[in-house]
A and B are shown apart, each in its own frame.
Chain A
Amino acid sequence: MTEVSLDELGPVDYVVVEFPAAASNFTGEMAAELRALVDAGTIRVIDVLILTKGADGSVEALELSDVDELGDLQAIEAELAELLAADDVEHLAAAMDPGSTAGVIVYENVWAAPFASAARRSGGQLIANGRIPIQAIIASIEADQATATVGD
């Protein structure tokens, strides 16, 4: 893994993408898109795990290097750090439904690193961040529309 100065590190996020039982359709498209994000310098993948949750709630974790055909992920696998610990596997799997499989990706937002560094150098501190769910945007729009209708 390439060493990155802490001062130049971009925000690190994770996603857990769940595939319900019998609903997955792996075509390699996801791997290709992930690779494209890495190649474009948008993100740097730090860790990847594939989790499977049994019907009884038991969890198994598969390292990316244990996957037979990595395809586009081959180059990414070579650069991974093992950031996630065993405790993290349990915590992340808590979100999964029994019988499902999930890909966990930990990544650095490389695109945000220069801005984050500049903010730090300027004395700024990140005091909040988050994601606005699409559902919340829809609810907000619908509430606006309802208010406008009442006002007509």
Chain B
Amino acid sequence: MPLRPARVGRVGVIGAPVAKTAVVAAAVTPGRGAPVAKTAVVAAAVTPGVGRRRI
């Protein structure tokens, strides 16, 4: 399906080819290489009052 004419010949807003990011689901989903315990640890790390400041 061709793009609408309005999209052709215009200056784009995404400056350069986009690199694929690491798949987030793999880090937080139980299963191969991603223990479910990690989700709790990450949640704790971003919860107010449980922070770890290292300066």
Using a CB–CB distance below 8 Å, which chain A residues touch chain B? 14, 16, 60-63, 66, 82-92, 94-97, 133-135, 137-138, 140-141, 144
Contact = CB atoms under 8 A, between A and B. Distances in A.
Given A88-B13, A135-B27, A137-B45, A94 B18 contact: yes
A96 B52 CA distance: 36
A68 to B, nearest CB: 12
A14 to B, nearest CB: 7
Contacts, number: 83
Interface residues of B, number: 30
B52 to A, nearest CB: 6
Given A91-B12, A94-B17, A84 B41 contact: no
Interface string B21-46: 11010011000000000100110011
Q: Most B CB atoms within 10 A — which of A14, A135, A144?
A: A135
A140 B13 CA distance: 33
Nearest to B54: A144
Interface of B: 1, 3-4, 6-22, 24, 27-28, 38, 41-42, 45-46, 52, 54
Contacts of A60: 1
Given A62-B1, A63-B1, A85-B10, A138 B18 contact: no
Contact of B28 (A88, A90, A134): A134
Given A86-B3, A86-B7, A95-B19, A134 B14 contact: no
Given A133-B22, A135-B22, A88 B41 contact: no
B18 A84 contact: no
Nearest to B17: A94
Given A82-B4, A95-B19, 12 more contacts: A14-B14, A84-B13, A87-B14, A88-B14, A90-B17, A91-B12, A94-B18, A95-B18, A95-B21, A96-B20, A133-B22, A133-B24
